[in-house]
Amino acid sequence: MDVLLDIWQRITTPHAALAPLTAWLTVAAAGAIVLFTPAWRLARHVITIVHEGGHGVIAVLSGRRLGGIRLHSDTSGLTVSRGRPSGPGMILTLLAGYPAAALLGLGAAWLLSLGYDVGLLWALLALLALLLVQIRNWFGLWSVAVTGAVVFGVSWFGSPLVQGVFALLVTAFLLFGALRTSLELQRPRSRRAGSSSDADQLARLTHVPGIFWVAVFLGVQLLCLALSARLLTFDQI
């Protein structure tokens, strides 16, 4: 009981805002991770986890049966759901993947704007725990477990400064990383090599060109980035 009360107190106690310089350096570090290809190759697994989780959540909410999620070492993933192969449920499920990281980043920015950086970390832990039970391959289990261990370590053992910096780093990385994945999606599509991508599957289901769906992904991601920037102003960071 004491442990649960301690956790609840950590989650519900807002922290002091980061100094503006520290906040900007953290955001710049997140941008560097996304732009520096060797770092991106490793960190992109986090975006894949959120991407496939987005497919899974919307599949369940739209009435489809979630069959499981696989995460692969090449940063690709697969979410299997059962139901009608067409219709609104399938379309929404396909739509959910690429915007998922940006939408999660927006929610994270909202929590940070209120000072709940530790609350954000524990919310991420809860989401990872829910995702873990749907993973159906060993690499996926390892990937989610390691991510959860890092988040837990910072949330439990980190100082308030470390927790605040890490929470902002994750938030900015989700927002920037989401944009890069959509830009990467369009490159193989422009060379006619992306026929199995979410955008191309949506194109086949809706008879609307795949480039339109890529634009939708980018539009949602840019909107989330803009709203997050308004939430995380210098007065609040």
CA dist 210 and 119 (Å) reads 38
- The verdict on residue 100 lying in a domain is yes
- The verdict on residue 142 lying in a domain is yes
Q: Which residue has 């927790």 as its token pair? A: 163
- The verdict on residue 5 lying in a domain is no
φ/ψ of residue 101, rounded to 5: -65, -40
pLDDT at residue 94 above 80? yes
The pLDDT value recorded for residue 191 is: 60
- The verdict on residue 37 lying in a domain is yes
Query: Tokens standing for 36?
Result: 């520096």
- The verdict on residue 237 lying in a domain is no
- The verdict on residue 167 lying in a domain is yes
More confident residue, 196 or 218: 218
- The verdict on residue 120 lying in a domain is yes
Query: Tokens standing for 205?
Result: 């289901």
The per-residue pLDDT for range 8-24, each reduced to its tens digit, is 888 888 888 899 999 99
Which residues, in sequence order, are bridge partners of residue 65? 82
Structure pTM? 0.94
Strand stretches in 22-113, DSSP E = 65-71, 77-82
In the chain, the number of structural domains is: 1
Which residues, in sequence order, are bridge partners of residue 79? 69
The pLDDT value recorded for residue 84 is: 87
C-alpha closest to that of 177 among 188, 165, 166, 169 = 169
The per-residue pLDDT for range 99-153, each reduced to its tens digit, is 999 999 999 999 999 999 999 999 999 999 999 999 999 999 999 999 999 999 9
Q: How far from 25 is each of 36, 94, 237, CA to CA, in Å?
A: 16, 35, 12
Q: What mean pLDDT is predicted for residues 79-96?
A: 93
* Domain containing residue 77: 18-231
The per-residue pLDDT for range 39-72, each reduced to its tens digit, is 999 999 999 999 999 999 999 999 999 999 999 9
CA dist 43 and 65 (Å) reads 29
- The verdict on residue 10 lying in a domain is no
